[in-house]
Amino acid sequence: MKYRSAFDIIGPVMIGPSSSHTAGAARIGRVARTLFGHQPKRAEIYLYGSFAKTYKGHGTDVAIVGGILDFDTFDERIPSSLTLAEQAGMEVQFTVEEAVTDHPNTVRIKLFDDEKEMELVGISIGGGTIEIIELNSFALKLSGEHPAILVVHNDQFGVISNVTKILAQHEINIGHMEVSRKEKGKMALMVIEVDQKIDQSLMDDIAELTNVTQVIKMVD
Amino acid sequence: MFKNVAELVELAEKENVKIAEIMIRQEIEVTGLTREAIIEKMDRNLTVMEQAVERGLNGVTSVSGLTGGDAVLLQKYIKSGKALSGHTLLDAVSKAVATNEVNAAMGTICATPTAGSAGVVPGTLFAVKEVLNPTRDEMIEFLFTSAAFGFVVANNASISGAAGGCQAEVGSASGMAAAAITEMAGGTPSQSAHAMAITLKNMLGLVCDPVAGLVEVPCVKRNAMGASNAMTAADMALAGITSRIPCDEVIDAMYRIGQTMPSALRETAEGGLAATPTGRRLEAEIFGKQSK
C-alpha cells in the first residue's frame, strides 16, 4: 500500500498552493538535503512531466529549494527561498526536461560541494506523499517518512548479515529493507527503514564493517 | 488494515463503532503512537483548517490576482436572506471557497487530501457544525472518517490530479466529506459508503485543467461545487437512497478513467479551460508580469 497513515490523507499542514507540486516538492528537496548531510554549495534541479509544465504556477521551484534549505512544508520562508538560497551562498540551476517519465511529477536533483556530489530522483505521488526512486543511479524506494539507514557497500557475501547483526545488537527492528546493486560483485546499496531512533554509535559500528564504504542516516 | 470500503464498513458494523474509530485504531497499530498523540495531531490539523476558513472569510487575494474575495461575497449574500439553496449548503460552499482562496494566496492550509481540494472537507465540516453542534472530539472524528475513505481511494485509485485528473482530487475530497457528514448526522457506516459512492459517481471524468498551471481557476469554484455535491449526497444517503453501483466499484471506475485520461487534461495546463483563449491570455498576462 502506497499510503499507510490517516495523516497522509488529512495533512500535511503546508504553504499552498499544491500538495503534490509544492509540499511534495519541498519534501523531496528536504530528503535530498538530509541524504547529502548538509547544505550544498550548488544544486542542479531537473523537472519532468507536470512538474516541468507547471512549476512556476505551483511554486515547485521555490518549494524544492526551500526543502534543500531544510524548510518543512509549512515553513513561511518557502515563497522567498530563491533569495534566501542566494544569500546563503547556494547556487541553484533549473532545467526543464522534455523526456517522458513513468510518473508525471518527477524531479532529478544533483547536489554538490567541494568534496562530493549526490544525485537523486524523487516522485510526488499525490497529497504531499513522496517516494525517492533513485539515488546515485541505484534504484530504490524510500518514503522519507521513517528513520532509515542507507549503506553503500561492496557486493560481497556476508555484508548484509553483518549489518543486520549489528541492528539486532542495538535492538533495532527493521520495518522495510531492500538491496540493489549496479553489477554483480561491484557497488551495492542497502536501504533499511527501521522503527526505532538511530544512534550515532550504531552508525559508527556499521561504518567499521569490512566492505562497507558509506553509511547515511535519515531520520524523520 | 482495511483494503476497501466494503471491509471498512464491515469492520465498523461488526465492532459496532464509528468509521472514525476504525481509522484511529489502525493509525495506532501502524504508527505505534498512543491514541492521545494521534488525536492531538488531528486536533492541530483541525486548528489549521479553522484558521484558514476564518482568514478566507475575511477576504484574501492571490499573488496572481486571479482569485480571492468570493467567500466574502457569498457570506454577504447569505446574510441578505435572498439565498435560494439554503443556508447550510451555501455556508459550506463559502467556507470551502474561503480555504481555497487562502491556499491560492500561498497561505497555510491542511491538505485534505490535497491542497487543490483542501476546501471541501473543512468547508462542509464548519457549516454542518452550525447545525449539529458537535463536540471538539466529534469534529476530530469527522476528519478521521474522511481520512478512512480517502485512504481507500489513495491506495486503490489516486488522489493526484497529475495522475487521475480533478476527479481524483476534488472528487475524492467530496466523497470523503459526504461520508463524514453522513456519519456526523447519525448515519450508519453503510450509509456513509453510499454517500461517498453517490458523490464520486457525479465527479467521474472531471479533468484537471488549471489556467496558467495555477491552483486557482477553476480549482476554487470546483471546491465550491465539491462541497455542495457532498452536502446533497449526504442528505440523499440519510434519506435512505442507495447507490446501485457499490462504492468500491465506483472508486475502481475512477481509477480506470484516470488511466485513460489524456495527459493534456492531467495538471499539465495544456488542455481544457487552460487552453481556452481567455485561459491562454491570462497565462500570458501573469507570466509576462512576473517575468520569470
Pair A104, A19 in one domain: yes
Q: Tell me the residue range of the domain where A31 lies.
A: 6-142
The C-alpha of A113 sits at a distance from chain B's nearest C-alpha, in angstroms, of: 27
Pair A106, A11 in one domain: yes
In chain B, the N- to C-terminal Cα span, in Å, equals 47
pTM of the predicted model as reported, rounded to 2 decimal places: 0.88
Q: Which three cell numbers stand for residue A169?
A: 545488537
> Positive or negative CA dihedral for B12, B17, B23, B27?
negative
Distance CA B154, CA B159 (A): 5
B290 Cβ contact partners less than 8 Å away, ≥ 6 residues apart: A56
Pair A12, A100 in one domain: yes
Residue A25, domain member (yes or no): yes
User: The domain that contains A69 carries what CATH number?
Assistant: 3.30.1330.90
Q: Which three cell numbers stand for residue A104?
A: 508525471
Distance CA A196, CA A129 (A): 21
- A194: nearest CA partner in chain B: B31
In 3D space, the residue among A120, A140, A128 whose CA is nearest the CA of residue A190 turns out to be: A140
Residue A198 DSSP class:
P
Pair A103, A156 in one domain: no
The ipTM is: 0.96
Q: Do B114 and A8 touch (CB under 8 A)?
A: no
Pair A135, A156 in one domain: no
What is the per-residue pLDDT across A99-134, written as a single tens digit (0 to 9) for each?
999 898 999 999 999 999 999 999 999 889 999 999
Residue A126, domain member (yes or no): yes
Average pLDDT, chain B: 96
Residue A106, domain member (yes or no): yes
Q: Which residues of B touch A59 (CB under 8 A)?
A: 106
Beta bridge partners, B157, equal none
Q: Do A20 and B114 touch (CB under 8 A)?
A: yes
Bridge-based pairing of strands A91-96 and A42-48 is: parallel
What is the per-residue pLDDT across B281-292, written as a single tens digit (0 to 9) for each?
999 998 876 544
Contact criterion met (CB below 8 Å) for A15 and A73? yes
Taking a contact as any Cβ pair under 8 Å apart, which residues of chain B between 121 and 180 contact chain A? 121, 143-144, 146-148, 150-151, 154-155, 158-163, 168, 176
Is B112 touching A (CB cutoff 8 A)? yes
Query: Torsions phi, psi of A118, nearest 5?
Result: -145, 145
Q: Which residues of A touch B144 (CB under 8 A)?
A: 6, 10
pLDDT at B291: 42
Q: Which residue has the cell 538511530?
A: A198
> In terms of CATH architecture, what is B5-290?
Orthogonal Bundle (1.10)
Residue A28, domain member (yes or no): yes
**Which of A142, A171, A192 finishes a domain?**
A142
Total count of domains within chain A:
2
Residue A1, domain member (yes or no): no
- A106: nearest CA partner in chain B: B162
B200 Cβ contact partners less than 8 Å away, ≥ 6 residues apart: B167, B171, B172, B174, B175, B247, B250, B251, B254
Distance CA B222, CA B166 (A): 9
Q: Do A17 and B159 touch (CB under 8 A)?
A: no
Q: Which of B154, B160, B287 is opposite residue A9, by nearest beta carbon?
A: B154
* Cα radius of gyration rounded to whole Å, chain A: 17
Q: Where are the domains of chain B?
A: 5-290
What is the per-residue pLDDT across B59-98, written as a single tens digit (0 to 9) for each?
999 988 999 999 999 999 999 999 999 999 999 999 999 9
Pair A82, A138 in one domain: yes
The C-alpha of A10 sits at a distance from chain B's nearest C-alpha, in angstroms, of: 5
